[in-house]
A and B are shown apart, each in its own frame.
Chain A
Amino acid sequence: MGLPRLLLVTAVLGICQTAWTQSPTYGVGRTPSAEEIRAWDIAISPTGKELPTGQGTAKEGAVLFVQKGCSGCHGATGSEGPAPTLISRKGVKPAASMPSMPCLAPCVNDANTMGVHSPFATTIWDYINRGMPLGEEGTLTPNEVYSLTAFLLYKNDIIKEDEVMNAQSLPKVKMPNHDGFALPPEWKHGTPRLQGYP
């Protein structure tokens, strides 16, 4: 077998190998429709690429905050509980109804309110959309979620009252904690979580 022919055989084998690893082994499960994926795909990245069309302002959000029952659990000012603090009030301690609570998973009941602590405004949109209001999750329209997000951002002194939040503007909001986090380190099998830690 001459060298060129050997190379050809190797190349063909290489292609087969690639094709084999890329095709499914079991063929179990079905392909979801684009509509099924769209309906379930509620995870919003910091780039905001999954954000739907729609918009809202803090003024509209202020109305919804009462109308949708948010104020019933988070308080009229967003900081008097019994549900976690949403709007930080300088010098005011967390709700007395949960005095010993150090951390609601995750920590949103102290000065690190969600509005202030998250490095990306998209996290607020994502959470309101997926998890609120309690007992009626998933019922808010995109416009309502944009409005409520705008309301919390405005009340925490992050945007102006008349700023319109939509798929373009929301990811650009500079959060106070934007640079205040470190990503988890790259994970590798069989490495300690932090070299040199006792």
Chain B
Amino acid sequence: MDSKKPNRRRFLKGGAAFAGLAAGDARLAKGQTVGTPPKKIDELIAYGERSRFVTSVRIPVAERHSPDEFGLTFHVLTPLQDSVGIITPSSLHYTATHRGAFVPDIDPREHRFMIHGMVDRPLIFTMEDLKRLPYVSRIHFIECLGNRARPTHKTVQETHGLTSCAEWTGVPLSLLLKEAGVQNSASWIVAEGAEEVKGASSIPLAKALDDCIVCYAQNGEPLRPQQGFPLRLMVPGFEGIYQIKYLRRIKVVDRYYMTYDDYGHINPDPKVAALTHIIGPKSVITFPSGGHQLSGPGFYEVTGLAWSGAGAIRGVEISTDGGLSWKNAELRSPAYPMAHARFGYHWDWDGKECMLMSRCTDELGTVQPTRAEVAKYWNQPLDANLRIQGADNSVMPWKVASDGSVHNGLA
């Protein structure tokens, strides 16, 4: 390291114009001071990291801390209030585990993935085997069924932080199932992880053969351990618990297996059951949202995310008057199937108290419902106690006070 220093000094001396670009305390022409990054430069050359001035972080859900008293990680929320675009950085992607789990430290050379059960040819793959096969890269959201806004929540991280979106790369599950030769009488699969609790979910075979991916990469690099390194299942549009991490086994079967994960979803009402597995069209304004402070009346770009488990987002509408009137927002990103889409809306705030809301429509024409519409559907009173059945995709209100502070509109 020391031997490199003279060279660096020579370089800095030799080119005053570059001084502002290189590290080291120096003043740019604009008069802005630039400091030295605290980490060793060769570490940062090897693996970059964000500026120390960027401090956005995940937080555990308030209902159960992570790590808990057993050292288990449970549910950790993405800081959506700071999000831009549609890709969640892997480090900020929300995390959830079955029952609470330790994050396993798996050597990919030791990892095996098996397909068996009602197939003609049971198969076992190494990671190397899987990487020889044709792969796809797709952008998909994952959302936890527990992602529901409560009146006590302050920020969009608390109300909606159990959703994230990333580019996932891996082998189509349909390809692997065809290699194994699924038998005609099969109707479900059970997918299982290798972590200590071996989380497992029953998934319809029709979905498994449609668009599921056996993923080994996220956002252009191997999966992070919290996201299932070295292998996870992507079940686009289905709620998070189906996206089995540390995937080690798929058993092809002829019935719903009622695993530990499965039974947590059961409900006697078929309507509630139908709303419990797939994410409905949903959107939320991420700016301005709870905890943000507007500096005064004038122009603001209202922005947020929209997604649906049934396909691509077709449109987003914004209300600035608590749902009395709606105007079209613009999509500011591609709208991929089962992916977050970014929307924007030009807004001139007049400085008066108001309620901001967004609602989206997906490619099937399904419109995100307001809480009032949900209450009417179930014939229940519309009040703070209304609990949305199944996956909560209701419209989220943000109240802008006349002093520019922004608050949870459900409170």
Contact = CB atoms under 8 A, between A and B. Distances in A.
**On chain B, which size bracket covers the interface?**
35 or more
B364 A192 contact: yes
A17 to B, nearest CB: 14
A25 B178 contact: yes
Contacts of A106: 260-261, 263-265
Interface in B178-204: 178-181, 190, 192, 196-198, 200, 204
A105 interface: yes
A126 B260 contact: yes
B266 A182 contact: yes
B332 interface: no
B64 to A, nearest CB: 6
B373 interface: yes
- Among A25, A41, A185, A192, residue most surrounded by chain B Cβ atoms (within 10 Å): A192
A187 B208 CA distance: 10
Nearest to B272: A182
A101 B197 contact: no
A113 to B, nearest CB: 12
Given A29-B129, A122-B258, A180-B266, A198 B179 contact: no
A82 to B, nearest CB: 6
A134 B101 CA distance: 9
A176 to B, nearest CB: 12
A181 B267 contact: yes
Interface string B242-281: 0000001101010111111111111111111111111010
Q: Specify the main secondary structure of chain B where it touches its partner.
A: mixed
Interface in A156-198: 177, 179-194, 197-198
Contact of B263 (A41, A119, A130): A119
A104 B64 contact: yes
Q: Specify the main secondary structure of chain A where it touches its partner.
A: loop
5 interchain residue pairs of minimum CB distance: A106-B264, A181-B266, A198-B369, A182-B270, A198-B373
B64 A31 contact: no
Contacts of B369: 197-198
B222 to A, nearest CB: 19
- Among B99, B206, B249, residue most surrounded by chain A Cβ atoms (within 10 Å): B99
Nearest to A46: B258
Given A32-B122, A43-B192, A198-B374, 8 more contacts: A40-B249, A43-B257, A103-B146, A131-B197, A134-B70, A181-B268, A182-B268, A193-B390
A24 interface: yes
Contacts of A96: none
Contacts of B257: 43-46
Contact of B258 (A37, A118, A180, A192): A118
Interface string B210-228: 1100000000000000000
A180 B268 contact: yes
A192 B63 CA distance: 31
B161 to A, nearest CB: 16
B99 A131 contact: yes
A126 B200 CA distance: 10
B377 to A, nearest CB: 5
A38 B390 CA distance: 36
A130 B261 CA distance: 12
A105 B96 contact: yes
B124 A30 contact: yes
Given A29-B124, A106-B263, A189-B210, A45 B255 contact: yes
A41 to B, nearest CB: 7
Nearest to B269: A182
B285 interface: no
Nearest to A118: B263
B114 A37 contact: yes
Contacts of A37: 114, 116, 122
A193 B116 contact: no
Contact of A123 (B255, B259, B276, B364): B259
Nearest to A104: B99
A49 to B, nearest CB: 10
B69 interface: yes
Contacts of B211: 189
B129 A102 contact: no
Given A40-B114, A43-B257, A182-B269, A24 B121 contact: yes
Contacts of A43: 190, 192, 200, 251, 253, 257, 259
A112 to B, nearest CB: 10
